[in-house]
Amino acid sequence: MLPLGRHQLPRVYLVSQPLRTAGLRLYSHTAEGASRKRIRPLVYGAFVTGAVAATYLLWPNESRSAPTYSNELLSPTHFTPATLVASEPCTDSETRLLTLAVPPYLLPSREELMFNPIWSIFVKDDDIQVERPYTPLEGIDDEGRMKFWIKKYPKGEVGRWLHSKKVGDKIEIRGPLKTWPWQDGKWDEVVMISGGTGITPFYQLLHHTILQNPSRYLNTRFTLLHASRRPLELPPPQMLAPLLSSAQEHPERLNVVLHVDTLEGPEHPLVASSVLRVGRINQRAIESALEVDKRKESWWRSLLPIGAKAGPERQESKRILYLVCGPEPMIAAIAGPFGRDFSQGVVGGILGSMGCTKDQVYKL
């Protein structure tokens, strides 16, 4: 869907008439001016709301009208039919692990179309002709299979539609599209902060760099701070098991910290509630994950507000990048809101207060 600019809305013409309800005049001649001022904004707002909704559905869209080819290589310029080969329930009843597959002969060569992290594909809901981006957890294998962790949100049309699909159904996709380019050796440490299904691009990055090749040497250390509302809403064991195993075996390469808003409800089948951090990810949590604590500070610095100096000083000594992905309120609280048209905007929130610059923060 093309973003609507403020000058792209259809023109709306209003015809001023005395408004009546149940035979009674809504304004009198004696108070006509004041009443019109109250009524007109309401009428205008209703018309504009309707116009925006109609424009959203009817406005020409290049990607939505992209053709579908069954025998062309996978590409961002057109849709390719994929087959749903697996649909697995998760600990959270609102999420599922879905596996899509395209025929291997439709895969471009690695040199021709790079599948390096972080990349996503668009999935099209054929019923209402709407597409949404999703990140394959493990990229794409030689058999053309891609696995996704997808949540069914109350107002998420495509997510609900995907949850209704059965194994064997065809689903149209286009991509891959680059989300963020990983570069070996550019960063000493990458701190990934996620909420909900916002962990999926980070899982893809970690699978590419660490999980699929544990013996691979990296100059970069990864830290993952993930938050969910309740234990059962954490990622399923199929995702958490390799992450926690790698973090335990190679703590110098990967650190994983899991947060929940509350411990209410059943425990997660893989992670005991006793090891979960209760509370949202805050500045103390970020600095603790970076091993910045009072033991490394002089006695007088401990009297300052927590983290007042640790963040910037830490960044001066090491090249640290912060990646943030999750619900928009969380992104705004951690790194500041997106700018216009989902540009990066300024660095704000917790990372802004820690002295991070725009070159050290990226919002996904």
Binding-site sequence positions for FAD: 132-134, 151, 158, 200
- Half-sphere exposure of 215 toward its Cβ, with a 13 Å CA cutoff? 0
Q: Report the C-alpha dihedral over residues 132, 135, 140, 146, rounded to 10 degrees.
A: -70
> How many Å is the Cα radius of gyration of the chain?
25
Check if the beta carbon of residue 246 is closer than 8 Å to that of residue 253. Answer: yes
Residue 240, CA distances (Å) to 10, 108, 126, 260, 271 in order: 48, 30, 32, 15, 9
For residue 3, give the H/E element and its range: none
Sign of CA dihedral 231, 233, 238, 239: negative
Rounded CA separation 346/331 (Å): 12
Under DSSP, the state recorded for 68 is B
Give dist(CA 333, CA 284) in Å, integer: 14
Cα–Cα dist 216/254, whole Å: 13
Residues making up the annotated binding site are 132-134, 151, 158, 200
Token duo for residue 130: 């709407």
Enumerate the β-bridge partners of residue 221. 189
